Copies of this chain bind each other. A is one copy, B any other.
């Protein structure tokens, strides 16, 4: 039938068709979007913070019934305990504070993503980025504690940096590392400000503003402490 509508409206119908068919699971407190994996290439990711452990566990159970890969971010151990009750093959990444379900055969992993962090305290956010990129099928190169006040530590890693296809740079305090990295590579740099610091850091505002004002082209920014967002975006770019 639809094939018979007049040609000028066809584009609209395509759009409609793509939109309509999307199924989701009504859970009362959540509408789990099963079609997202088809539409965006990865199932919905669950932000653990602000949800009860029970809510997270129920959502993970739903998602994992339809997908081989599930990711929960900013989840504490209590949350993981609840998930493990319902989904026994879930894993916990304590530094990244992430829960993953990763089933199925071994597909080949894509190299090309490097995660760089400025200080020791930025590692949890960097790990969140790395775990997110890994579950999306990537090998992640890590290079931690290379802040700009000892720039030789970064330069020592220049060869690896320059082989990356996309670089995630995680930094708190003055947030200068993405600019320095951005001047050394010819690939996209995803900057992640962290709330590490005190005083005039104002919860990560200082590195956020610095990164947005980066004088290096090719740098874009995600939310403060949003390691997941950076890792996910890196995976999209690396496809």
Contact = CB atoms under 8 A, between A and B. Distances in A.
A203 B40 CA distance: 29
Interface stretch (A17-25, A80-88, A96-104, A107-115): A17-25
Given A149-B183, A179-B148, A209-B202, A220 B218 contact: no
Contact of A209 (B40, B42, B210): B210
Contacts of A30: 120, 144-145
Residue from the set A36, A119, A153, A212 with the largest chain B CB neighbour count within 10 Å: A212
A51 B213 contact: no
A233 interface: yes
How many identical chains are in the complex? 8
A60 interface: no
Contacts of A152: 19-20, 22, 24
A11 B149 CA distance: 20
A91 interface: no
Given A1-B4, A199-B225, A233-B188, A121 B159 contact: no
What 3 pairs across the A-B complex have the smallest Cβ distances?
A199-B224, A176-B176, A50-B121
